[in-house]
Amino acid sequence: MKQREEKKIIIIGAGLVGSLWAVYMAKEGYKVTIYERRSDIRKTVISAGKSINLALSNRGWKALDAVGVGDEVRKFAIPMYGRVMHDTQGMLTYQQYGNEDQAIYSVSRGLVNARMMDMAEQKGNANIFFEHECRNVDLEKGIVYLTNKQTGEQFEDKGELVFAIDGAFSAVRYNAMQKIDRFNYSQNFIADGYREILLPANADGTYKMEKNALHIWPRGRFMLIALANNDGSFTCTLFMPHQDHKYSFDKLTSKEKVNGFFKEVFPDFYEMLPDIAEEWAKHPLSSLAIVRCHPWVSGRVALMGDSAHATVPFYGQGMNAGFEDCTVMSELIQKHGSNWEAIFEEYNRERKPDGDALQDLSLENYIEMRDLVGDPMFLLRKKIEAKFSSLYPDKWMPLYSQVTFSSIRYSVALKQGAIQREIMDKIMAKADINETWDNPEIMDEIISLCE
Amino acid sequence: MKQREEKKIIIIGAGLVGSLWAVYMAKEGYKVTIYERRSDIRKTVISAGKSINLALSNRGWKALDAVGVGDEVRKFAIPMYGRVMHDTQGMLTYQQYGNEDQAIYSVSRGLVNARMMDMAEQKGNANIFFEHECRNVDLEKGIVYLTNKQTGEQFEDKGELVFAIDGAFSAVRYNAMQKIDRFNYSQNFIADGYREILLPANADGTYKMEKNALHIWPRGRFMLIALANNDGSFTCTLFMPHQDHKYSFDKLTSKEKVNGFFKEVFPDFYEMLPDIAEEWAKHPLSSLAIVRCHPWVSGRVALMGDSAHATVPFYGQGMNAGFEDCTVMSELIQKHGSNWEAIFEEYNRERKPDGDALQDLSLENYIEMRDLVGDPMFLLRKKIEAKFSSLYPDKWMPLYSQVTFSSIRYSVALKQGAIQREIMDKIMAKADINETWDNPEIMDEIISLCE
């Protein structure tokens, strides 16, 4: 730990990002107190109810490794090297995500969060107070108004700085920041919800499907996905409109209808899980929202992670983006030292466009996952891109790789992705592309379009 | 009053729309209780600080006259038949709003509100409780949780229905509706703020400018406007970016700078008000926001007026749209009787697109007012449109007239306006339009473009 006068900071929220940020701030010589609304998940049964298995990728690992906690997570992370698409006949198609050694990693949200809390306490010397609710914050003074939910006691605490890392429906943002003049805010629920389904292991503990891939059943307007757990099971998630569609959640009102739906549209899945209707009832139907706001800082307070830029999960970047907020803020500490006015100002100015871009990318990728990956022409497009990229890596990194396997700013990736899409639209518009795609002339044409 | 079992409803907010809605509901046989956070403006000096003189137009009058309160407002409303544009040399240009007898009406917000409260009490038999704050609402049960701000007493009240007509930063929306699942919400502050300035009457009580017109000093990125009051004064408002522009509020930091600014860009105004720097300090700099949300109803509660669709003031439609909400809801009562589930469902579904369109129109009209009305080509365009409209009134009602002098749905007006703009773009693109505009061929060409 650096030799510096120990100053106290407060973190609201002991979630994934809050716990990691505690480690960062402890390394910078700050004394860290965390207040968390929920009880200690390490002492209770982890609810898989609203978890969505998470996919850790480059940005996440970078932030974890920078403070030496990556290896703790690697112990239980399962690499996924590509997507396996399941069509309505149960036929499988495989699409590799990047190079052969590039993978995204399936991890349980609960498990990562529990280990991050350990790290916050052990490496960050943080005191975590559970079941403490933040009622309000004095943004200028850094005073946090709290309620101990077990005793009902109301009290206040004061930090040099306060980091509001308390999630998509942040109490700090709602109770304090939303009330300041000229605070822009939006919460926008998309038309689709999700429901989790657990696909158990075989009786001998083995996996029912390839574990090192992300499984997708793309069905146009909706999709099912599955990510492996360490115990041989898969956490599966059905994403679908709430209502107003031929296939929507409001139509699945009985066991018979759930069974009929899975038999019809996911027959190979139904075969693996014939008691789907029982599993169906174990998890609630949940909603999905994009939350945008600005500014992300006010007085002594900064929003990080979902409280600043909650997104829909379709690019698997929510946690990764939150972890990357730590990387960004940490780099600004290296640049500005303890001049937090400068740090907050630059964080607010420079990181916000990346939060917006992350959200745009997440929405775009839902269409790719649920619809396009089932289209042979789309897979051909990706194959041509991959070939060009391997021949001319300096000229072309596929958008998925920019987002997932690099630290290129999300806002830059979004722009580059749009340029690439325009180029590939021209290539794919060629009448004979199915026959000619592997010819050198196609590569030459892409080069000329790149210039 | 209709003979019906008297049912109690609660209105939160005794503003313009809340007070009017009390009259409507009393006529339908409901017993009305209103809770208002502020004190009774009729007993205090009316603050002109955040008023923006309002422009009553067709939709507003229609809603007022339907319950017989229009004449009370006509007593002090000042008709404005057109705009007077002031250029940087003090030269004036006049543009009539509609036909010769069509006008919008300047009224003081405070005065209208006071008379509407009288009406609510006298015609609506409403009990208005001032200085009562709404802490929360049980949306399903219609229970309102209140605090008497004078005594500190906390209590609850229950209505068959609750109408949240409590303004752009509605307590009902914030405390209750924003927390329900899948409630979409956004508050978006525009880059511009405003500051009011009072231009007093001449010593003999006469007006310093034409009273029956809305005065505009269009300056591209910013503008000053003035609306007449009954006492010979004008309420003027400067709209301008908060920062980051050659002319923005953050630069006007001293009396000298304010004086210099007005001398330079509004010389004829400065001549009328040489002690502008004194007046300047009397009113605060305020912000402007668009608030969108959906749904507008939940359980027994409905949002009306600004709480549902707060907008920026550039089309002069905020109050008119709120009053029109009363017209719409009242028509649904005539259609569905006391089936409030059906009334709320249809109100929510049918009125929301008009709220959105009103906001889009308001934003568009800022550009027209601050920039285009100073452009001779824009005025020519309006002249051609007016001529065509007077020749073929069935084929063409100018957008301004649709919004201001008709009850055409805002969403329809927005669409028709876009079509008209496309047609006029083609006409204005003609090289010799300055010479040929009055030729019959131009009218013929517009007819053919209309088909």
Domain annotation for chain A: domains and CATH numbers: 7-48+109-186+288-365 (3.50.50.60), 375-450 (no CATH)
Between chains, do A185 and B187 touch, taking CB under 8 Å as contact?
A: yes
Lowest mean pLDDT among A106-110, A285-289, B176-180, B188-192: A106-110
Instruction: Say yes or no for a CB contact (<8 Å) between A186 and B188.
Output: yes
Average pLDDT for chain A: 94
- Measure in Å the smallest separation between the Cα of B187 and chain A Cα atoms: 5
Interface of A with B (CB under 8 A): 174, 178, 181-189, 242, 287
* pLDDT score at B351: 98
Across all residues in chain B, what is the average pLDDT? 94
**B187 contacts in A (CB within 8 Å)?**
178, 183-186
Q: Quick one: closest CA in B to A183, which residue?
A: B189
CB neighbours of residue A49 within 10 Å: 11
Average pLDDT rounded to a whole number, residues A68-85: 96
For B224-237, letters b (16+ CB in 10 Å) and e give: bbbbbbeebbbbbb
| Among B136, B179, B182, the residue to mutate for chain A (most A Cβ within 10 A) | B182
Pick from B181, B185, B242: CB nearest A186: B185
Strand-pairing partners, residue B30, are: B7
* C-alpha count within 13 angstroms, C-beta hemisphere, residue B122: 10
B186: which chain A residues are within 8 Å (Cβ-Cβ)?
A: 184-188
Mean pLDDT confidence for B434-446 = 94
What's the whole-number mean pLDDT along residues A389-404? 95
Residues of B in Cβ contact (< 8 Å) with A188: 184, 186
Q: What is the pLDDT at residue A51?
A: 58
Q: Which residue of B169, B170, B177, B188 is the best one to mutate when testing the A interface, meaning the one whose CB has the most A CBs within 10 A?
A: B188
Facing A187 at nearest CB: one of B174, B185, B287: B185
**Residue from the list B181, B182, B186 with its beta carbon closest to the beta carbon of A186:** B186
Among the partner residues B178, B183, B187, nearest to A184 by beta-carbon distance: B187
- Residue to test with chain A: of B135, B169, B177, B189, most A Cβ within 10 A: B189
What is the share, in percent, of chain B residues with pLDDT greater than 70? 97
Mutate to test the interface with B, among A189, A248, A250 (most CBs of B within 10 A): A189
Radius of gyration of the CA atoms of chain A, in A: 23
Q: What confidence tens digit (pLDDT) does each residue in B260-278 have?
A: 999 999 999 999 999 999 9
- State the smallest CA–CA distance between residue A241 and chain B in angstroms: 13
Mean pLDDT of A134-154: 98
Nearest to B188 among A174, A178, A184 (CB): A184
Q: Tell me: the pLDDT tens digits for A268-319? A: 999 999 999 999 999 999 999 999 999 999 999 999 999 999 999 999 999 9
For the segment A186-192, the average pLDDT, to the nearest whole number, is 97
B133-176: pLDDT as tens digits: 999 999 999 999 999 999 999 999 999 999 999 999 999 999 99
Contact B208, B233 (CB under 8 A): no
pLDDT band for B52, please (50, 70, 90 cuts).
low
| Cβ contacts of A18 within 8 Å, gap of 6 or more | A11, A12, A34, A36, A120, A163, A165, A166, A304, A305
pLDDT at A3 over 70: no
Considering only the beta carbons, identify the residue of A178, A181, A287 that sits closest to B182: A287
| Of the partner residues A174, A178, A189, the one whose CB lies closest to the CB of residue B182 | A189
What ipTM describes this predicted complex? 0.91
pLDDT at residue B4 tops 60: no
pLDDT for B371 = 87
B182 neighbourhood in chain A, CB within 8 Å: 189, 242, 287
Contact B184 A181 (CB under 8 A): no
Q: Which residues of A touch B188 (CB under 8 A)?
A: 184, 186
pLDDT in tens, A307-341: 999 999 999 999 999 999 999 999 999 999 999 99
Q: Does residue A230 surpass a pLDDT of 60?
A: yes
Decide if B78 contacts B230 (C-beta within 8 A).
yes
Q: Which pLDDT value is given to residue B5?
A: 58
Collect all residues of chain B within an 8 Å Cβ-Cβ radius of residue A187: 178, 183-186
Q: Closest CB to A184: pick one of B182, B189, B242.
A: B189
CB of B265 closer than 8 Å to CB of B88: yes
Distance from CA of A342 to the nearest CA of B (A): 19
Question: Which tokens hold the place of A261?
Answer: 């739906």
Is residue A128 within 8 Å of residue A120, measured between CB atoms? yes
B431, containing H or E segment: none
Q: Give dist(CA A22, CA A15) in Å, integer.
A: 11
The three-class DSSP label of residue B373 is: helix
Chain A residue numbers touching B178 (CB-CB < 8 A): 174, 187
The values of phi and psi at residue B434, to 5°, are -60, -35
φ/ψ of residue A104, rounded to 5? -105, 160
Q: Is the pLDDT of residue B28 over 50?
A: yes
- pLDDT, tens digit, for every residue of A207-225? 999 999 999 999 999 999 9
Residue A47 has pLDDT above 70, yes or no: no
Q: What is the spatial distance between Cα A137 and Cα A177, in angstroms, rounded to a whole number?
A: 9
B168: chain A residues, CB-CB within 8 Å: none
Model confidence over B305-358: pLDDT tens digits? 999 999 999 999 999 999 999 999 999 999 999 999 999 999 999 999 999 999
State which residue of chain A sits closest to B192, comparing Cα positions.
A182
Interatomic CA distance for residues B450 and B443, integer angstroms: 11
Query: A272 to each of A201, A205, A327, A436, how far by Cα in Å?
Result: 10, 14, 42, 40
- Which residue type occupies B438? D
* A26: nearest Cα among A119, A115, A104: A119
Per-residue pLDDT at B289: 97
Q: How far is B178 from chain A (nearest CA, A)?
A: 9
Contact between B189 and A182 using a beta-carbon 8 Å cutoff: yes
Residue among A135, A180, A185 with most chain B CBs within 10 A, to mutate = A185
In this structure, the dihedral spanned by the alpha carbons of residues B116, B118, B119 and B121, taken in order and rounded to 10 degrees, is 130
pLDDT band at A5 (very low <50, low <70, confident <90, very high): low
CA A206 → CA A53, A197, B281, B314, distances in Å? 19, 18, 76, 66
Average pLDDT over residues A360-366: 95
Give the pair of three-digit tokens for residue B52. Answer: 């923006």
Residues of B in contact with A285 (CB under 8 A): none
pLDDT, tens only, B33-47: 999 999 998 987 654
Q: At what angle do helices A318-336 and A340-370 cross, to 10 degrees?
A: 160
Most distant CA atoms of chain B, gap in Å = 73
Closest by CA to B280, choosing from B196, B184, B168, is B196
At B267, list the tokens: 């010389």
Cα B415 to its chain centre, rounded Å, is 20
pLDDT at A49: 40
| Structure confidence at residue B49 as a pLDDT band (50, 70, 90) | very low
Cβ separation B186–A187 shorter than 8 A = yes
Q: What is the dihedral of CA B35, B39, B43, B46, to 10 degrees?
A: -120
Identify from B135, B181, B356 which residue to disrupt to test chain A contact, counting A C-beta atoms within 10 A and taking the largest count: B181
Q: Which residues of B touch A186 (CB under 8 A)?
A: 184-188
pLDDT value, residue B3: 47
Chain B residue whose CA is closest to A290: B184
Chain B residues whose CB is inside 8 A of the A178 CB are 174, 187
Interface contact flag, B187 A188, Cβ < 8 Å: no
For residue A440, what is the enclosing H or E element? Answer: helix A440-450
**For tokens 């942040």, what's the residue?**
A170
Pairing of β B154-158 and β B143-148:
antiparallel
pLDDT for the residue numbered A126? 95
pLDDT digits (tens, 9 = 90+) for B387-423: 999 999 999 999 999 999 999 999 999 999 999 999 9
Q: Does the pLDDT of residue B131 top 90, yes or no?
A: yes
pLDDT band, very low/low/confident/very high, at A45 (cuts 50, 70, 90): low
Give CA–CA dist B8/B30, Å, rounded.
6
Q: What is the DSSP string of A311-364?
A: --GGGS-HHHHHHHHHHHHHHHHHHHTT-HHHHHHHHHHHHHHHHHHHHHHHHH
- Smallest CA–CA distance, residue A411 to chain B, in Å, is 21
Cβ within 8 Å, pair B242-A186: no
Residue B46 confidence (pLDDT): 56
Residue A82 confidence class, pLDDT cut points 50, 70, 90: very high
Do A178 and B187 lie within an 8 Å CB cutoff? yes
Is the predicted pLDDT of residue B48 greater than 50, yes or no?
no
- Our CA-based measurement puts residue A189 at a distance from the nearest CA of chain B, in whole angstroms, of 5
Rounded to a whole number of angstroms, the distance from the CA of B415 to the nearest CA of chain A is 25
**pLDDT greater at residue A3 or residue A396:** A396
Nearest CA in chain A to B290: A184
pLDDT in the model for residue A2: 46
